[in-house]
Amino acid sequence: MGSNEVWAKCQQCGTELKQGDKVCPKCGSTNKHVERTGHAVVGLKASGKVEHEAHWSSKSWTILGIIMAILAFLLALLLPSPSFVIRIAIAITILIVVLVLRFNNRIKYSFLMFLRQLDHKFTARKTYGGKKKPR
């Protein structure tokens, strides 16, 4: 700090005092007002990872079975006498769907959440205005 830098103010009149000033050059007061400032930066970083893992329940298997039965019924109606090649194609498609659901976790998770949404949509009790609707 040089001798010409302002380091305080007079407490009486507010005149800026230089480093060598013992008394205020304006009013003669020896009372000084010194202000110091400082800056601090504090950072906080938090992270977390939660992964929901969906498991096959008996209800999930039941809903999947019902969906497969409906699809088989619709295929039987639409294709009353499918050829051998069409039967093989249907069997391969079903096998691929089962393998994808078994080994691809992202598709498996999405499919299980879809089954649970169907379950909730059709079997959950409905509430109206906070009261359960009688069945």
Q: How far apart are CA 124 and CA 98, in angstroms?
A: 27
Instruction: Give tens-digit pLDDT for 14-31.
Output: 777 777 777 887 887 777
Domain assignment present for 88 = yes
Q: Are residues 73 and 18 in the same domain?
A: no
Evaluate whether residue 6 is within a structural domain: yes
Alpha carbons 93 and 96: distance in angstroms, whole number: 5
- Mean pLDDT for 124-132 is 65
Model confidence over 33-68: pLDDT tens digits?
A: 667 777 788 888 888 777 666 677 777 778 777 887
Any domain includes 128: no
Could you tell me the residue range of the domain that residue 12 belongs to? 1-34
Mean pLDDT of 89-118: 80
**Are both 22 and 68 inside the same structural domain?**
no
Q: Which residues pair with 127 in a beta bridge?
A: 132
Residue 52 lies in a domain: no
- Overall pTM > 0.75: no
For residue 50, is it within any domain?
Answer: no
**In a domain? residue 132:** no
Question: Would residue 39 count as lying in a domain?
Answer: no
> Which residue type does 126 have?
K
Question: In total, how many domains does the chain have?
Answer: 2
> Do the Cβ atoms of 23 and 30 come closer than 8 Å?
yes
Cα–Cα distance between 34 and 91 in angstroms, integer? 88
